[in-house]
Structures are given as structure tokens and as C-alpha cells.
């Protein structure tokens, strides 16, 4: 029962969308601007660096909080991973914002920062390498997500199965949330982030 309560709370926490909360303070809904996505990249393109940094901080923070929630009160890492995934689902389909949210990468990263810190550096390095080589933020995020199951090798042996399962589920979710990016990449119409190159 406690585990279910934690998962529900993690989903509700994930539903607190950084871009939409900060957008309300500014009087904008970034889902009506740019790519229409309620995430950090669209926040940067449409609202600038300051706004985007606030968005990313909130979205990372709720992933980290979800992980801590899962570990609290004698919780175990598998439950914490499930809470991070629930928070990411909340970010993608936020209860408070008509179930139209972001793509989930920052929330996943925030959870990993708590549960598997050694994985962050190689995943970030891969993300940056793909971004600098291609100029596509979406492609960089997809490649980093596809590497998530392999990050389980950095977990303690008794927990590798749980981290691998989480990695596969998270990668599939990121692929699904980036399906529009994949379609635009195939069509040659994906927007490049030229300043990153």
C-alpha cells in the first residue's frame, strides 16, 4: 500500500511541469510556441536562457525528489526507480495541464543523479557528442536514452537487473515521446540547434 502511495505521489510530483508553471508566471504557454513541446529545448528557443534554466532545474529536481521518495521509509532502489518512471510519466502526461507535457529526459536524468550517479557523465558525454556532431537535440537525447540499459552495468551486481529493466522502459518511453523528432529526421525537416555546433 505504501509503495502504491509513493508511485501516485511521484506521478503527481512529475505533473508539476517546469515550463508550464514558469510560463504561467510569465503569462505564456510554450505549448503554443515553437515546437509546441513543454520542455527545456523549446523553452530555450522561445523564452531564452534564464527561463530554460529554471525549467530544467525544476524538471531535474522532480526526478531527484521522486528517487528520494522511493528510497524514504525503508524503500529500496527498485521502488525508487519505479517512482522516477512514474514521475516521468507525470511529466509527459501531467494531470494538472491536460495531460500535455514534455518529453521526460530531464526528469529521468534527475532520478539517475540520485540512484546511479556514475552513469551521468558517460550519458552526458554521449549526448554532447551527438549534439555537437549533428546539431540535433532530439537525436542526442534519443541516443543517450538508448544507452540507458547499458548504464545498468555501472550498478551494483544485485541491482543490475532492476536498472536494466528501468533503462529499457525509459528508453522506450523517450523513443515514443520523440517520435515526432524521428519522423522529422527521416523527412529532413528536423530543426538544428546551430548554436550548439
Query: pLDDT by residue (tens digit) across 79-102?
Result: 999 999 999 999 999 998 889 888
Look at residue 47 in the predicted model and tell me its pLDDT. 85
Does residue 105 contact residue 61 with C-beta atoms inside 8 Å? no
- Cα–Cα distance measured from residue 55 to residue 109, given in angstroms and rounded to the nearest whole number: 14
Please give the mean pLDDT across all residues of the chain. 91
Does residue 4 have a pLDDT over 80? yes
Of the two residues 121 and 21, the one the predictor is more confident about is: 121
- Cα–Cα distance measured from residue 145 to residue 106, given in angstroms and rounded to the nearest whole number: 11
SS3 track for 121-177: HHHHHHHHHHHHHHCCHHHHHHHHHHCHHHHHHHCCHHHHHHHHHHHHHHHHHHHHH
Name 66's Cβ contacts closer than 8 Å, sequence gap at least 6.
Answer: 10, 13, 14, 80, 83, 84, 86, 87, 107, 110, 111
Grid cell at residue 46:
522561445
Per-residue confidence band for 132, with pLDDT thresholds at 50, 70 and 90: very high
Kindly report which listed range (35-39, 48-52, 160-164) carries the lowest average pLDDT score: 35-39
Look at residue 159 in the predicted model and tell me its pLDDT. 93
Does residue 195 have a pLDDT over 60? no
Look at residue 27 in the predicted model and tell me its pLDDT. 83
The phi and psi torsions of 180 (rounded to 5 degrees) equal: -65, -40
Domains identified in the chain, total number: 1
Model confidence over 148-189: pLDDT tens digits?
999 999 999 999 999 999 999 999 999 999 999 999 999 989
Q: How many residues appear in the chain?
A: 197
Per-residue confidence band for 33, with pLDDT thresholds at 50, 70 and 90: confident
Most confident of 27-36, 67-76, 165-174, 182-191: 165-174
High-pLDDT (> 90) share of the chain, %? 69
Does residue 197 have a pLDDT over 60? no
Task: With 0.85 as the threshold, say if the pTM is over it.
Answer: yes
Q: Which of 115, 77, 92, 100 has its CA nearest to residue 14?
A: 92
**Domain that residue 15 falls in:** 2-196
Look at residue 176 in the predicted model and tell me its pLDDT. 97
Amino acid at each position: 500500500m505504501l509503495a502504491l502511495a509513493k508511485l501516485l505521489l511521484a506521478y503527481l510530483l512529475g505533473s508539476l511541469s517546469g515550463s508550464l508553471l514558469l510560463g504561467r508566471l510569465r503569462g505564456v504557454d510554450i505549448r503554443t510556441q515553437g515546437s509546441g513541446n513543454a520542455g527545456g529545448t523549446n523553452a530555450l528557443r522561445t523564452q531564452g536562457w534564464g527561463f530554460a534554466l529554471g525549467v530544467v532545474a525544476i524538471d531535474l529536481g522532480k526526478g531527484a525528489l521522486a528517487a528520494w521518495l522511493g528510497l524514504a521509509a525503508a524503500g529500496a532502489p527498485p521502488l525508487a526507480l519505479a517512482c522516477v518512471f512514474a514521475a516521468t510519466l507525470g511529466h509527459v502526461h501531467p494531470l494538472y495541464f491536460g495531460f500535455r507535457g514534455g518529453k521526460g529526459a530531464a526528469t529521468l536524468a534527475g532520478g539517475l543523479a540520485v540512484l546511479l550517479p556514475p552513469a551521468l557523465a558517460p550519458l552526458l558525454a554521449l549526448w554532447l557528442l551527438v549534439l555537437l556532431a549533428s546539431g540535433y537535440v532530439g537525436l542526442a537525447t534519443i541516443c543517450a536514452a538508448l544507452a540507458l540499459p547499458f548504464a545498468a552495468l555501472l550498478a551494483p551486481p544485485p541491482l543490475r537487473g532492476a536498472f536494466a529493466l528501468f533503462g529499457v522502459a525509459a528508453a522506450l518511453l523517450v523513443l515514443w515521446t520523440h517520435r515526432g523528432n524521428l519522423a522529422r529526421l527521416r523527412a529532413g525537416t528536423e530543426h538544428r540547434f546551430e548554436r550548439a555546433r
